[in-house]
């Protein structure tokens, strides 16, 4: 395990991988299947506003997670804004210090105070022990962000939220 910055490949240490890894590179799967879906979309001339692909997506998500309703939105920022408004968030909400800035912006835009919490350096996710230290009488929620495809400790955060 690397123990200081000088050990990291970017700072002169031995790289862990033989080539750069692009964190946000999309996996498009079968290129021909993707192109067919894109061509079908263009042929329909229906790109937005509850079109057939959005309806299919929502139905598949409902089936996948076992719920009756799902609302697809254009990005996570809008999703967080809808969530804040729908459940009436107020006061303070604990969130990881290592997250996209929109997580905090969506809260501020609804008058909620973001409280940044340290992360676990091994997972880059919220450290439940540090979350517990930040809970006050004004805390109304905890937002756990799943980083790099690694889920945060949802069970521990849910226990703290109760």
- Can you give the pLDDT at residue 7? 86
User: Are 90 and 119 found together in one domain?
Assistant: yes
Residue 87 lies in a domain: yes
- Cβ contact 157:129 at 8 Å: no
User: Are 118 and 153 part of one and the same domain?
Assistant: yes
Residue 10 has a pLDDT of 80
Instruction: Indicate whether 26 belongs to any domain.
Output: no
From residue 5, alpha-carbon distances to 1, 23, 24, 118 in Å are 12, 20, 23, 19
**Residues 45 and 117 placed together within one structural domain of the fold:** no
Residue-level pLDDT, tens digit, the chain, 162 residues: 777 888 888 888 888 878 876 767 777 889 999 999 999 989 998 877 788 889 999 999 999 999 999 999 989 899 999 999 999 999 999 999 999 899 999 999 999 999 999 998 888 899 999 999 999 999 999 999 998 888 999 999 999 998
154, two tokens: 């949802």
Domain check: are 40 and 91 in the same one?
no
Number of alpha carbons in the 13 Å side-chain half-sphere of residue 127: 14
Any idea which residue has 């750069």 for tokens?
20
Residues 61 and 82 in one domain: no
| Residue 71 pLDDT | 93
- 71 found inside a domain: no
- pTM of the entire structure? 0.71
Which residue segment(s) compose the domain that 54 sits in?
Answer: 31-65
Four-residue CA torsion sign, 79, 82, 86, 88: positive
pLDDT recorded at residue 148: 80
| C-alpha to C-alpha distance for 65 and 68, rounded to whole angstroms | 9
Domain count along the chain: 2
> Distance (Å, rounded) from C-alpha 136 to C-alpha 157?
15
């Amino acid at each position: 395990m690397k123990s200081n910055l000088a050990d990291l490949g970017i700072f002169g240490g031995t790289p862990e991988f033989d080539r750069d890894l692009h964190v946000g590179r999309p996996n498009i799967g079968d290129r021909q299947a993707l192109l067919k879906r894109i061509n079908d979309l263009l042929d329909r001339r229906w790109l937005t506003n509850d079109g057939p692909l959005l309806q299919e997506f929502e139905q598949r998500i409902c089936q996948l997670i076992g719920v009756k309703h799902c609302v697809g939105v254009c990005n996570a920022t809008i999703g967080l804004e809808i969530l804040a408004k729908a459940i009436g968030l107020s006061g303070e909400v604990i969130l990881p210090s290592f997250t996209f800035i929109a997580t905090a912006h969506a809260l501020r835009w609804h008058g909620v105070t973001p409280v940044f919490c340290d992360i676990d350096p091994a997972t880059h996710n919220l450290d439940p022990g540090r979350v517990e230290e930040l809970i006050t009488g004004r805390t109304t929620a905890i937002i756990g962000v799943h980083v790099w495809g690694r889920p945060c400790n949802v069970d521990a955060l849910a226990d703290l939220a109760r």
